[in-house]
Amino acid sequence: MSESGRAGGAANGRFADYGRPRRVDGGLKARSTRGAIGRSWWSRRFLEVLESFALGTRLTRGRSYARAGQVVRLDIAPGAVSAVVQGSRPRPYDVHIGLSAFPPEFWERIEADLAAQAFFSARLLAGDLPAELEELFVAAGAPLFPAGVDELTQRCSCPDFAVPCKHLAATFYLLAEAFDADPFALLQWRGRGRAELLDRLRTLRAAATGAATPAPSDQDGAITPDTPEAPPAGALRALGTLPPAPLAEAVDRFWRPPVPLPDRPPSLATMPDLLLRQLGPPAPAIGGPGLLERLRRAYRAFGG
């Protein structure tokens, strides 16, 4: 349901019956102020899928809500996105968007495939999602993005029966920008969080190369108290576990790729905020998402 009117009821489905939305102080505003929302390939791909469902003007209204800061809260968990969106009524609306999380046994297969190729491990450990990742999920029989609107469970506590309403649409757009800020949020929605995925990749890479298994971390980039020395950051964490072979033993395959190459050449497009994506969001005690956004704007300004 949405606040734009009751289907066939006294409100007659007219948006004017509810007036303008109430102003929100400190709401989550979309970084994009005009044009398309979404900068990374994964957020644009997500919105392309959403917009292909032919949802009409409701998405336009939702985009306006997202840019006005009407979304009060946005939380991403395995299989479920929840949000609080302020409309024209005093009480904000509760929004839920469900997408089935992949089961643990599927993630074990995916992690094994990712760890088998240093290219994937290096990019993921560097805080980036390579475009080839989508192909890997498709080949495994479980596309990363929803193929149809029926794969999404959409609920809003507002009084209209339209699905999606503008509150749901606003949540979709803010969700896409959340994927921009942290690409692992997309994987978390599908059932595997950043820390667990990267710890598994480090462990599998270490087992495959015979290197010592790295100590698990409470969160990506955080070293446990028992760890005597922090490991190399980014791609070095993946590639550093590859032992060098004597040239005499490898001369026949020196110019061959160590792992099968993808069907199309990998693309590498870095943004000024790559370091922020590697480190992950800071703890609430030192600024939380607000600090992350301020740093991202500063990085973009200096990078330009």
pLDDT (tens digit per residue) in 119-166: 888 888 888 888 888 889 999 999 999 888 889 999 999 987 778 888
Give the mean model confidence (pLDDT) for residues 230-250.
45
Q: How far is CA 176 from CA 15, 41, 98, in A?
A: 26, 10, 15
Give the mean model confidence (pLDDT) for residues 234-257.
50
Tokens, residue 38: 């979404």
- What are the strands, taking DSSP E only, across 129-261? 152-156
Give the mean model confidence (pLDDT) for residues 31-47.
77
Give me the residue label for tokens 């489905």. Answer: 13
Q: Is the pLDDT of residue 60 over 50?
A: yes
Q: Is the pLDDT of residue 280 over 90?
A: no
294 or 204, which is more confident?
Answer: 204
Distance CA 245, CA 81 (A): 47
Crossing angle between the packed helical segments 118-125 and 132-139, to the nearest 10 degrees: 120
| Confidence at residue 209, expressed as pLDDT on a 0 to 100 scale | 67
The one-letter code for the residue type at 85 is V
| Phi, psi angles (nearest 5°) of residue 219 | -150, 160
| Confidence at residue 246, expressed as pLDDT on a 0 to 100 scale | 60
Give the torsion sign (CA, 288, 290, 295, 296): positive
Q: What is the CA radius of gyration of the chain?
A: 22
Look at 108-117, 137-146, 158-167, 184-193 and tell me which has the smallest mean pLDDT. Answer: 158-167
Q: Please check whether residue 150 is in contact with residue 43, taking contact to mean a CB–CB distance below 8 angstroms.
A: no
| Confidence at residue 55, expressed as pLDDT on a 0 to 100 scale | 61
Look at 13-17, 131-135, 294-298 and tell me which has the smallest mean pLDDT. Answer: 13-17
- Closest to 176 (Cα-Cα) out of 57, 71, 276: 71
- Closest to 63 (Cα-Cα) out of 172, 180, 162: 172
Give the mean model confidence (pLDDT) for residues 190-199.
92
| Confidence at residue 200, expressed as pLDDT on a 0 to 100 scale | 92
- Closest to 235 (Cα-Cα) out of 123, 96, 71, 92: 123
- Closest to 283 (Cα-Cα) out of 190, 201, 218: 218
Does the model's pTM come out above 0.75? no
Q: Is the pLDDT of residue 96 over 90?
A: yes
| Confidence at residue 13, expressed as pLDDT on a 0 to 100 scale | 42
The one-letter code for the residue type at 290 is G
Residues 6+ apart with CB under 8 A from 114: 120, 121, 124, 136, 201
Q: Is the pLDDT of residue 192 over 80?
A: yes
- Banded pLDDT at 298 (limits 50, 70, 90): confident
- Closest to 111 (Cα-Cα) out of 228, 203, 219: 203
Neighbours of 280 (CB within 10 A): 18
Distance CA 107, CA 127 (A): 18
Strand order in the sheet with 71-77: 71-77, 80-85, 93-99, 152-156
